[in-house]
Amino acid sequence: MPTKQKITQFMKILGKEYKTFTKPIVTEMSEKGHDPFKVLISTVLSLRTKDETTAKASYRLFKIADTPKKILKLSVSKIEKLIYPVGFYKTKAIRIKEICKVLIDKYNNIVPDEINELLKLKGVGRKTANLVVSLGYGKPGLCIDTHCHRIPNRWGWIKTKTPLETEMELREILPVKHWKEFNDYLVAYGQNICRPVSPRCYICKLKKYCKYKNKTIKK
């Protein structure tokens, strides 16, 4: 288990590296208006989709409809055309309309700011709920995607098999002040350096602290 001092050291190094990478699209979206609804919908669109594709789809959709009421006025086929080619775009078009209807009918057109309430929305998992809470409302949320699950295991901080286990473990050892930036930093680092396949260990600033056994060497 890492000490608070080690965690601070890691986050400082990651913070410097983060400035050299492109921000995750959901983070970018949140910084442009701090709109929980846009964070929610763009996160739904981002699932199993590359950031570049998610960004274009999100901007196309929000240019036409940026509130639950406006989206409900669109047909499913129209939403499909606007968000294509995000992964599972047909299913996501249906989900988005369903989410918007529930927001209007049960939440007075307001996106919930509690994880347990967000999880009641069909198609919303813990990753999405945590992002909405943290990026949309500025409240403590620890979003764990594939990068945030893989990288701490490579470092040797934890030994977990699922993102849920990782979230629960990290909630115990990671200071709350680092929760929001943790996802931003690790997503960017995981996309550019600590990749799932062929990680670029040879340029990783954390290499000497990392316990990953299969470090790569540039040929």
Q: 4 near 175, Cβ under 8 Å?
A: yes
Q: How high is the mean pLDDT of the chain?
A: 95
CA torsion through residues 210, 185, 99, 121, sign: positive
Q: Which of 122, 137, 152 represents a domain boundary (last residue)?
A: 137
Q: Which of 85, 103, 137 represents a domain boundary (last residue)?
A: 137
Whether residues 33 and 66 share a domain: the answer is yes
The confidence band for 24, taking pLDDT boundaries of 50, 70 and 90, is: confident
Whether residues 102 and 169 share a domain: the answer is no
pLDDT at 218: 82
The confidence band for 31, taking pLDDT boundaries of 50, 70 and 90, is: confident
pLDDT at 188: 94
**CATH code, domain carrying 117:** 1.10.340.30
pLDDT at 34: 80
Percent share of the chain, pLDDT over 90:
90
Whether residues 157 and 189 share a domain: the answer is yes
- Is the full-model pTM beyond 0.85? yes
| Mean pLDDT for the stretch of residues 59-87 | 97
Q: How many domains does the chain have?
A: 2
pLDDT at 170 over 70: yes
| Mean pLDDT for the stretch of residues 6-15 | 96
Reported as a single tens digit per residue, the pLDDT across 192-203 is 999 999 999 999
Q: Which two tokens mark 102? A: 């529930």
pLDDT at 136: 94
Domain range for 109: 25-137
Which of 119, 146, 123, 147 has the alpha carbon at shortest distance from 133?
119
Whether residues 121 and 192 share a domain: the answer is no
Instruction: Outline where the chain has alpha helix (H).
Output: 4-18, 25-31, 36-46, 51-64, 68-72, 76-83, 89-106, 115-118, 126-131, 137, 146-155, 163-173, 179-192
Whether residues 31 and 42 share a domain: the answer is yes
Conformational region of residue 139, where left means phi above 0, alpha means psi within -120 to 50, and beta covers everything else: beta
Whether residues 85 and 53 share a domain: the answer is yes
What is the rounded distance in angstroms from the CA atom of residue 88 to the CA atom of residue 181? Answer: 28
Q: Is residue 214 part of a domain?
A: no
